[in-house]
Structure 1
Amino acid sequence: MLRLAVVLLILATPSHANVPRADVPRVVVDIPPIHSLVAQVMEGVGTPELILPPGLSPHDVALRPSDASALAQADLVVWIGPELSRAFARSVDALAQGRVLGLLEVPDTVLLGYRQGAVFSELGGGDEHDHDHDQGSRDPHAWLDPVNAALWLGAIAQALAQIDPTNAEAYTENAAAAAVRLGTLQGAIDTRIIPLRGQPFVVFHDAYHYFEARFEIEAAGAIALGDGGAPGPRRLVEIGQAAQDLGVTCVFVEPQFNAGYVGATLPREGARVGVIDPLGFALTPGPQLYETLLTGMVASFEQCLGAE
């Protein structure tokens, strides 16, 4: 009789979805830089799960069964948006049952379009912030602008507070403290970038427009397409000629892409190759990754453009 009473009591208890949340929400994030921002907001409360770990390009990735399960069970999915990874977008659309926060859709986010061609038409230009690009032309690498990152901290805190009001104050306080740190970081980077402005350089793919525009250090061109697609022979010839004409002395490669194309872009003796990484390829995921990522990028600029 006692066992039967326990079973009946369990069946009569309201489901988990109908009672106030007492546990920390399960939060799933797409890429390491965004995971870092979410981890800062959740610090002291919980830890978000990272779907696309360092070392993988989000432009071309297949989810594991465990990733699909995490998406399906998540209370909140925080991601850049469909432009960064169509494969991930399809999985979000098919599997996500909880709330989905697309950061490119957060109001007042600075949005830029992909630049056209291998050689960017106006060196030093392209820093006009456009909020009206259609989804096919929007450059999704918006996390490389710390102003966007600071804005998103508040949006992340708000989304978390709505599904976990018990910890709303902690989320809000964490977001505010992280935004202050990002403001300090932005000022420090700007000071270090000033001596490097005006020097022509080429990037491997057009992933750095937000960083370049924010800190007024625009690239002359990109070897590969903005989505990481392999460049064709015509594009390589075009960027190689431009590098020679503009006196490019530095080409930046990325650890997750084939650097074999760089030789065609460095016709000058003494030209240097630097490494920059928009995702944190060699960094440990966590709250510190975002600041470490941007600090490492500016150090790479200094080493390649500031070298004698």
Structure 2
Amino acid sequence: MMRKSLLALSVAAAALGAGMARADVPQVAVDIAPLQSLVARVMEGVGTPQVILPPGAEPHEYALRPSEARALSQADAIFWIGDALEPWLAKALGSLAPDTPTLAMLDVAGTRTLPFREGLGGDDHDHDAHADEGGHDHDHDHADDHDHGHDDDHGHDDHAEGGHHHAAGETDPHVWMDPENARAWLPAIAQTLSRLDPEHAQVYAQNAQEADADLAQLETSVHGMLDGDTPLQVVVAHDAFQYFEDRFGLKNMGAITDADDTPASAARYSEISNNVVADKITCFISVPGEEKSVESLPVSGQPAHIVTADPLGSSFAPGPELYGDLLLDLATRLSVCRD
């Protein structure tokens, strides 16, 4: 009987200890699934970060649900892309988590940024003249706290109506589509988590290093799929792939919708159509729900390849593998255009 009592006490003590260990793990909130995937990779074996935006949500304009607002207010750390992608979140953080350590990826040293493309969306800007462009530097100092505006109004709708337009020269916020940016973020994520949770600092650092090696291999694989004697010419339904195009040598020949969701004018659509015919373009990237905009473009007797891809990774299961799966799937689909 005493043996059973001691065993019961041991089991109870172990369960209590495990519960306390779990309670010590930081509660982490992340804005979008691709970034959540990177944070989850760094936290693997310790905890799981919560993603705020659900699949299909529009990151430029969004109204938080009560459960999402609660996740932000209860978080010990928050990772997000930045105000350029989610101005509404900048305001929400000020009211829901004014003292919570936050890290905007656009503020991380080494993040390479590109300006919004205007008009046709052709590949005519100078990629070597960006003030925020940096090398792949893993040793950075990062401030945990950022100032945010205040807005206590949080609705229940998935999407907020209204435009979110950008002036020429402003930063294109789809920075996660460049894996070199993701590699620059990994140590910053690990450092932020380590300050909150020193007990697991070695795990975070090791996970970040392993994830970096995985992303380096991913880049090599994608280059192997897409590199060629001439740049692969593409027309996109939505200009959300600039960073991927630039990293892997694709040439954008037109965007039907700008990165800030501004649709092409009739004149611009006509110009894109003319380019498709004149340059014999057969490779098109659409986003879910916008396939018809590229299907209606003329193709001069050539077989057209329409690749549907969501830069937010809504078709993939959330978790540490999502980020790599997103880029590898896009590259695999585009490689058909090389055949």
TM-score range, shorter chain: 0.7 to 0.9
Report what 1:261 is aligned to: 293
Contact 2:237 2:290 (C-alpha < 8 Å) held by counterparts? no
Aligned CA-pair RMSD: 2.2
Change (3 A) 1:230 1:62: farther
User: 1:283 pairs with 304, 307, 316, which one?
Assistant: 316
Separation of aligned partners in 2, 1:280 and 1:130: 27
Would the aligned equivalents of 1:157 and 1:172 in 2 still touch at CA under 8 Å? yes
Task: Return 220-229 or 130-139, whichever deviates more.
Answer: 130-139
Distance 1:172-1:119 versus aligned 2 partners, 3 A rule: closer
* Structure 2 match to 1:85: 86
Match of 1:177 in 2: 210
Deviation at 1:212, TM superposition (A): 1.2
Matching of residues 1-308 of structure 1 within 5 Å:
23-97=24-98, 98-120=100-122, 122=124, 126-128=126-128, 130-132=130-132, 137-195=170-228, 197-255=230-288, 257-269=289-301, 270-303=303-336, 305-307=337-339
The structural deviation recorded for 1:284 is 0.4
SS in 1 for 2:24: coil
Matching residue of 1:8: none
Query: Hey, what's the Cα distance between the residues in 2 that align with 1:63 and 1:90?
Result: 11
Q: 1:196, 1:264 → 2: CA distance?
A: 29
Distance 2:87 2:268 in 1: 24
Cα distance in 1, alignment partners of residues 93 and 298 from structure 2? 41
Tell me if structure 2 keeps the 8 A contact 1:127–1:216: no
Measure the CA separation in 2 of the matches of 1:60 and 1:235.
25
Letter in 1 for 2:116: Y
Question: Displacement of 1:242 after TM fit?
Answer: 2.2
TM-score, length basis structure 2: 0.78
SS in 2 for 1:219: strand
Percentage of matched positions with identical amino acids: 40
- 2:282–2:304 Cα contact (<8 Å) kept: yes
2:17 alignment counterpart: none
Q: Which amino acid aligns with 2:109?
A: P
Deviations 1:116-162 (A, max 9, x none): 2124153xx65436234999710111111111101100000000111
8 Å CA contact retained: 2:112, 2:132: no
d(CA) in 2 for partners of 1:238, 1:153: 41
Q: Distance in 2 between matches of 1:75 and 1:198?
A: 45
1:267 Cα offset (Å): 4.2
Q: For each residue in 1:261-302, what CA deviation from the matched residue of structure 2 results, as whole angstroms up to 9, or x when unmatched? A: 224433433333221221112100000001100110101111
Is 2:291–2:308's contact at 8 Å kept on the other side of the alignment? Answer: no
Alpha-carbon offset, residue 38 of structure 1: 0.1
What amino acid is aligned across from residue 43 of structure 1 in structure 2? E
In 1, the alpha carbon distance for the partners of 2:106 and 2:115 equals 12
In 2, Cα distance between the equivalents of 1:42 and 1:252? 33
Superposed structure 1 runs of 4+ greater than 4 Å apart: 132-136
Gaps of 5+ in 1: 1-20
Query: Residue 232 of structure 1: CA displacement?
Result: 3.2
Are the aligned partners of 1:203 and 1:252 in contact in 2 as well (CA < 8 Å)? yes
CA distance in 2, matches of 1:138, 1:259: 26
